[in-house]
Structure 1
Amino acid sequence: MTVQRSRSRRVPFTLLTLIGQRLLAGLLMLLVVSAIIFTGIQLLPGNPASAILGQTATPQAVAALNQQLGLDQPAIGRWFGWLSGVLQGDFGRSFSTREPIGPVLAERLSNSLALAGLTALFAVPLSLLVGFTCARWQGRWPDRLLNLFTRSTVSLPEFFSGYLLIAVFAIGLAWLPSNSSVSSGMSAGDRLLAMALPCLTLTLAVLGHMSNMTRAALVNAQNAAWVDTALLKGLSPGAVLFRHVLPNAWGPIINVMVINLAWLMVGVVIVENVFVYPGLGQYLVDSISKRDMPVIQDCALLLAAIYILLNLLADVVALLANPRLLHGR
């Protein structure tokens, strides 16, 4: 009893220590990512001031705009200035509109989170259902048919499946709109209707990987010796799967689910552009075409931060699902 109590007291401390270490590593990684983002944007050909003023701009006008935008300052100083502003909640001003980036960034981020959340609401239960079905009838026709479908969805790029869905549901059947523009004044029904096609595209993009990993985790747990013992005791395969196999496979299943949700926030960049959805990805691509450097930097850094945080969440969930990982054995 004393040994068990001492272990239960050490586990939360160890978990908090690991979370602190991962947070520190994530902050250091964000620092490196910010340097890579800033350096990559500086290496792009052309001049943002020239892109804003157009081809007819005089050298004097370009020089004046460079000074106004602070582009005549040393690069290292602009990098530190950008990071210090972000830490204080100031994301700077857009080069093209000269308006604060923060409010627009918050609105676009909320739209992207809504799309990713709606996708997860459908993709996670569907992936679990497909994975359970494949594991339950391993090697039989349901397993083979669903494997064919999921592997086909994995092989399709997001932009191709998006255009294919537009051709079928928007042009052919005229059931759903091809333009997914949403606004604050829209009703909930209209908003969900506009988000249907990009949500379906993202669901197909993550369904194959999540369901295949779920199947692999369940099949791996089914190969244990105690499963044969449970079957010999007279338990049905379905009961063994849900009552005994599933609890032992939750760790890797939840881990891959959270990792795919982290991918969703990065994968929306392509899908949002296909459907003209006003999210963070569309904002990023529009800013790249305009050479709007502060917006590009803020969007890229925010996407990197979300990805790092969700990967941290995946690690924590995996540790909670399998506390033995805390002891390194």
Structure 2
Amino acid sequence: MSHVWKMVAQRLALGLLTLFVISLIIFGAVELLPGDLAQSVLGQAATPETLAAFRRELGLDLPAHERYLSWLGGVLQGDFGNSLANRRPIADLIAVRFSNTLFLALYAAAISVPLSLVLGILAALWRNSIYDRAVNVATLSSISFPEFFVAYILIFYIAQAGIFPSIANVSPDTSLGERLYRTFLPAITLTLVVTAHMMRMTRAAIINLLASPYIEMARLKGLSPGRIILRHALPNALAPIINVIALNLAYLITGVVVVEVVFVYPGLGQLMVDSVAKRDITVVQASALIFAAAFVTLNLIADVLSTLSNPRLVHRR
């Protein structure tokens, strides 16, 4: 198992290096934005003295590398600074919004992961059948449409029928049942987008293993096709399946921006879009860095789990 821990340490170091590079890109992109940030925030009526004081308050009068190091040092301590729009600490703003985004991602994952596994296993069991072709066509059609198009279709047919609300307005006081009800449409939208990847990977991984000698031996022993897939093929196909599931979970967390905007869901993506409109650059920087950290973390988890699920990698000889 020592090589597993070594791999984890290597992946963690690479993830930290990736986040450092991403932080440079985020800060550099903000620096390259046209216009004067102080003028954009305070408006055209601001006096030169007010603009100068505001620049000193934000540290805009310092060189770019000093501002970056100051920002990075604050991030490492959990201090993202204050919002330019309402002067509140960014950590307080992000905490509630990120928990909402995480809830929506987990809600969609709780629907999409079991659904994808079942559809993929049945498609492998009855491959080249009418069911297999119908599921492939349906899932590929759902993933071919942009998220906002799928969201508006669901709103048009389901929300207008009064079955589920079109606006997912939740608050910290909302009960779990009410929260699940109000966020059902955004969760289904995300489910339709990510199910195809996971289903097709499950199907491909299992079909690839069905030609293995030990599967042929299981068939010769008279085991049923369902037992062969569930007991013999599926455990050995977990590595690629775990990888694609983790990548899609990363998408569920980082790719919810459009869905949150369409359904007016108070998540981190909605906060990021609102902050861009208000030119609240400090919140945009913090949101982008958190999205990147979530994506890198889930990729690290995917590498570790796919390694642990493969006995040949865990027990080397």
Tell me the TM-score normalized by structure 1. 0.93
Counterpart residue type for residue 316 of structure 1:
V
Of 109-118 and 179-188, more deviation after overlay is shown by: 179-188
1:285 has 2:285 as partner:
no
Q: Is the 8 A contact 2:308 2:314 kept in 1?
A: no
Alignment of 1:26-105 (within 5 A): 26-105=15-94
Q: Is the 8 A contact 1:227 1:240 kept in 2?
A: yes
Could you report, residue by residue, the CA deviation over 1:187-206 in whole angstroms, capped at 9, with x for unpaired residues?
22221111111101111111
| Closer/same/farther in 2, CA of residues 210 and 92 from structure 1, 3 Å limit | same
The equivalent of 2:249 in structure 1 is: 261
The number of residue pairs the alignment matches comes to 317
Q: Decide which of 104, 124, 134 is 1:115's aligned counterpart.
A: 104
Alignment of 1:129-168 (within 5 A): 129-168=118-157
Shift in Å, 1:326: 5.2
Counterpart residue type for residue 234 of structure 1:
G
Q: Is the 8 A contact 1:30 1:304 kept in 2?
A: yes
Q: Is the 8 A contact 1:48 1:292 kept in 2?
A: no
The equivalent of 1:5 in structure 2 is: none
Could you report, residue by residue, the CA deviation over 1:117-151 in whole angstroms, capped at 9, with x for unpaired residues?
11111111000011011001000011011111111
Alignment of 1:226-245 (within 5 A): 226-245=214-233
User: What is the CA–CA distance in structure 2 between the aligned matches of 1:309 and 1:245, rounded to whole Å?
Assistant: 28
User: What is the CA–CA distance in structure 2 between the aligned matches of 1:72 and 1:162, rounded to whole Å?
Assistant: 44
The equivalent of 1:4 in structure 2 is: none
The equivalent of 2:211 in structure 1 is: 223
- Secondary structure at 2:255 match in 1: helix
- Secondary structure at 2:86 match in 1: coil
Counterpart residue type for residue 318 of structure 1:
S
User: What is the CA–CA distance in structure 1 between the aligned matches of 2:179 and 2:193, rounded to whole Å?
Assistant: 21
- Secondary structure at 1:183 match in 2: coil
- Secondary structure at 1:315 match in 2: helix
Shift in Å, 1:97: 1.1
Alignment of 1:174-189 (within 5 A): 174-189=162-177
User: 5+ residue gaps in structure 1?
Assistant: 1-11
The equivalent of 2:184 in structure 1 is: 196
User: 5+ residue gaps in structure 2?
Assistant: none
Counterpart residue type for residue 255 of structure 1:
N
Shift in Å, 1:163: 1.1
| Closer/same/farther in 2, CA of residues 19 and 96 from structure 1, 3 Å limit | same
Could you report, residue by residue, the CA deviation over 1:94-137 in whole angstroms, capped at 9, with x for unpaired residues?
11111111111111111111111111111110000110110010
The equivalent of 1:303 in structure 2 is: 291
Of 286-295 and 47-56, more deviation after overlay is shown by: 47-56
Of 317-326 and 301-310, more deviation after overlay is shown by: 317-326
User: What is the CA–CA distance in structure 1 between the aligned matches of 2:11 and 2:39, rounded to whole Å?
Assistant: 42
Q: Is the 8 A contact 1:37 1:297 kept in 2?
A: yes
Shift in Å, 1:328: 8.1
Shift in Å, 1:175: 1.1
User: What is the CA–CA distance in structure 2 between the aligned matches of 1:145 and 1:292, rounded to whole Å?
Assistant: 47
The equivalent of 2:202 in structure 1 is: 214
Alignment of 1:16-27 (within 5 A): 16-27=5-16
Identity %: 51
- Secondary structure at 1:73 match in 2: coil
Q: Is the 8 A contact 2:169 2:182 kept in 1?
A: yes
Shift in Å, 1:226: 2.8
User: What is the CA–CA distance in structure 2 between the aligned matches of 1:156 and 1:59, rounded to whole Å?
Assistant: 49
